[in-house]
Amino acid sequence: MHNAKLLPHYLVQRFHGWKATTYSENESWYRRLADNGQNPRAMVVSCCDSRVHVTSIFGADNGEFFLHRNIANLVPPYKPDGAQHGTSAAVEYAVKALKVAHIIVLGHSSCGGVEGCLNMCTGRAPELEEKTSFVGRWMDILRPGYENIKDMPEAEQPAALEKEAVLVSLNNLMTFPFVADDVKSGKITLHGLWHDIGEGAIEQYSPEDNGFKPV
Ligand SMILES: [Zn+2]
């Protein structure tokens, strides 16, 4: 016996609502999706944050995005050490098996993971420095980004570090040989976005400006 319980009633009700409306009105489309397999054009790496609604922002349907979410939308550096790397596995599958044309890294405002990294880097979160902190060790990926923003006014640092999380991830994507090869041959393009939740806005990294500009 496994340690799990039945779903709470409100979720069961919502599921049956979806089945009776969205699914039943589009049943043949769902069956086609199931039969044909997935063929998404883009992989999106976003934060786990419940307010970041990737498919809603882009009006995306089932099958359009290969979506990977983790704390602070980070891609770690390429490290083929035989350990278990969830994000790297998702990148490998998207590129090698699904042959996506785009990889989009989507950061966001008031990111708790980035705030934790900022607190850790400024000595305000000793618990995150401990070896046993999964969040802390994961946020180590963003430490090089902190070096770029540490001299900014304090009020600007959270948003700046959220954007650094996107840039660090874009840099780390290029350390994967199969990503770098496909970027160089033009098979894949990388994109960096930052989503302001309250404003409903998106900024994108512009290589000409070497900074983020409103979409
Ligand atoms: Zn976040």
Q: CATH 3.40.1050.10 region(s) of the chain? A: 38-214
Q: How far is the CA of 47 from the centre of ligand 1 (A)?
A: 5
Mean pLDDT of 16-31: 98
Distance (Å, whole) CA 139 – CA 104: 20
Mean pLDDT of 39-63: 97
Q: How far is the CA of 73 from the centre of ligand 1 (A)?
A: 7
**Residue 48: helix, strand or coil by DSSP?**
coil
Q: How far is the CA of 53 from the centre of ligand 1 (A)?
A: 12
Predicted pLDDT of residue 199: 98
pTM for the full model? 0.97
Q: Please answer whether residues 135 and 118 qualify as being in contact, where contact means their C-beta atoms are separated by less than 8 angstroms.
A: no
Q: How far is the CA of 26 from the centre of ligand 1 (A)?
A: 33
Distance (Å, whole) CA 99 – CA 129: 38
What kind of fold does domain 38-214 have according to CATH? Beta-carbonic Anhydrase; Chain A (3.40.1050)
Q: How far is the CA of 4 from the centre of ligand 1 (A)?
A: 27
Q: How far is the CA of 208 from the centre of ligand 1 (A)?
A: 27
Residue in the block written with tokens 């980070």? 74
pLDDT digits (tens, 9 = 90+) for 75-131: 999 999 999 999 999 999 999 999 999 999 999 999 999 999 999 999 999 999 999
Q: Please answer whether residues 37 and 66 qualify as being in contact, where contact means their C-beta atoms are separated by less than 8 angstroms.
A: no
Predicted pLDDT of residue 29: 96
Distance (Å, whole) CA 57 – CA 45: 14
pLDDT digits (tens, 9 = 90+) for 157-170: 999 999 999 999 99
Distance of CA 205 to the CA centre of its chain: 15
pLDDT digits (tens, 9 = 90+) for 181-191: 999 999 999 99
